[in-house]
Structure 1
């Protein structure tokens, strides 16, 4: 049986609506056949709980451990950094760490789970880490505060570098990558990106001792994240033409961004697995 890792935006849904009404039935058929199903997204505007609720509302019931998202990955990465910091400190003492977050509430809540202090946009405190996700309430002041902190030495973390997100009607809206680009331009500093195409985000799946990489598929709509992640990780790559990538773009793809399979919709994934 195969392990199937589905992207969400542009593959399962666009905005608040399913890409196709038959997607819940397709997922159920795949599960009945014994395939292991995961959902993977770079979108940090929800966490695992939020994505579980959204999937259920659209007719797809899943367990929390089937959902992998960049908001959780950002928390896990920062948690690892804090553990390393504690291990290097004298007598293993914990240093109080200040974090500035650009992002929606679910990302903020994930970071609040750690023993850190969140710094407000108008607080004049030294910041140790800047974490950036998609923020539908972005202001110039937030950009200024993030850039100021990074220039003063804060470690720069981004949930992803997706320039756009697909929404209803195949429209695109600016994504986290657009925010990251503004901060990079004003600091000349590259962030550590925890989301796709970094294999860090699927480390839990990759460490599974029973995983057969030859029968593990990443199904997504972006060449520079989904397909690149699959190829970097030695997994099978499937591009779906229901999101940001057109057929012409797919045909021009080269190197590690070249998909093994190209399908028009999720119905065709069942043909690949036969």
Structure 2
């Protein structure tokens, strides 16, 4: 092995943060300046020796779901076989999703229906993470929920009381609602915002009113702006709802899902995962990949969901730390394209 190859392999085995320190230190050296190109490397161009070093550098795989393993209810080609091959190589696999609409058991059922192996312990969803966070806080009051059944059922599982969910329409005039119909629940001590297809002005009013109390806890499951779609249709995500509530509440929410590093705390505490030997696979730079950057994971972007290679090239030019943090270590067209490389 040449000296240059040896250095490359050392960096492959290093944590994301250490790798970036090396690149910064050697930025003025002509020979090692090319190592900057290791940022967003096309994995299909790596040698067998490089792939072997890559596989030896992690024990745990965290994979996003929608846009990586499936789109809606359609499994993506080769994704299931790739994850099974990683399991066969001795890797732990966790599904890490910002989707708060399902419980872990419902995700297990979806995985099974689409041909993916999974257990409840391998599902890290934002509904589950929210329940973990509120349980760890020792929260004993009641939560006002902007969300769906996945969120409320996970809260039920840890004994956290909450408001009802579903439609909450304006039945008369706004003036009548404000002056006569709205009664603040004195037991509410937290507002939790997740995806809610019934979100409206009344729910925003209720949430902001509770949050006017500075002691009321404000939690958002995630901030994904939109859902990955197979067409040009834009389906707004939880982030649009969170932004609306934050605007009228006048304060930011504590974000549970990707790219919040709270996920790292949970997987380390509850699943004994070593961040330095973890690979994050995702389709979105500002959630999946930024999570990996912040937590010291290796990162692999697949181009079957939200982010594109054009996005990556733009992020590379930025001096903003968080935007630059969206640049993955590696990329592939799809998760299925990893299978022939590791078989």
With the length of structure 1 as denominator, give the TM-score of the two structures.
Answer: 0.87
In the TM superposition, residue 144 of structure 1 has moved relative to its aligned partner by 1.2
Q: Which of 249, 257, 265 is the equivalent residue of 2:334?
A: 265
Q: Distance in 1 between matches of 2:328 and 2:341?
A: 13
Over 3 Å counting, the alpha-carbon distance change for 1:142 and 1:24 in structure 2 is same
Q: Which runs of 5+ in 1 are unaligned?
A: 84-95
Over 3 Å counting, the alpha-carbon distance change for 1:196 and 1:178 in structure 2 is same
1:29-108 to 2 correspondence within 5 Å? 29-82=85-138, 96-108=140-152
In the TM superposition, residue 170 of structure 1 has moved relative to its aligned partner by 6.7
In the TM superposition, residue 18 of structure 1 has moved relative to its aligned partner by 1.5
1:162-177 to 2 correspondence within 5 Å? 162-169=224-231, 171-177=233-239
Partner of 1:164, secondary structure, is coil
The answer to whether 1:28 aligns with 2:84 is: yes
In the TM superposition, residue 238 of structure 1 has moved relative to its aligned partner by 0.8
What's 1:87 paired with? none
| CA contact 2:146–2:195 (8 Å) conserved in 1 | yes
| CA contact 2:81–2:339 (8 Å) conserved in 1 | no
In the TM superposition, residue 208 of structure 1 has moved relative to its aligned partner by 7.8
In the TM superposition, residue 168 of structure 1 has moved relative to its aligned partner by 3.8
Over 3 Å counting, the alpha-carbon distance change for 1:269 and 1:207 in structure 2 is farther
In the TM superposition, residue 216 of structure 1 has moved relative to its aligned partner by 1.7
Q: Distance in 1 between matches of 2:242 and 2:225?
A: 9
Partner of 1:237, secondary structure, is strand
In the TM superposition, residue 210 of structure 1 has moved relative to its aligned partner by 7.0
| CA contact 1:68–1:202 (8 Å) conserved in 2 | no
Partner of 2:67, secondary structure, is coil
Q: Which of 48, 67, 70 is the equivalent residue of 1:13?
A: 70
Q: Which runs of 5+ in 2 are unaligned?
A: 1-55, 169-181, 317-323
1:200-219 to 2 correspondence within 5 Å? 200-207=262-269, 211=273, 213-219=275-281
The answer to whether 1:252 aligns with 2:252 is: no
Higher share in strand:
1
- Bigger radius of gyration: 2
Q: Distance in 1 between matches of 2:269 and 2:233?
A: 36
In the TM superposition, residue 113 of structure 1 has moved relative to its aligned partner by 2.9
Cα RMSD after superposing both structures: 2.2
- Segments of 4+ moved more than 6 angstroms: none
Q: Distance in 1 between matches of 2:213 and 2:274?
A: 45
Q: Distance in 2 between matches of 1:251 and 1:236?
A: 19
| CA contact 2:148–2:196 (8 Å) conserved in 1 | yes
In the TM superposition, residue 174 of structure 1 has moved relative to its aligned partner by 0.7
Give the aligned length: 261
What's 1:150 paired with? 211
What's 1:188 paired with? 250
| CA contact 1:223–1:253 (8 Å) conserved in 2 | no
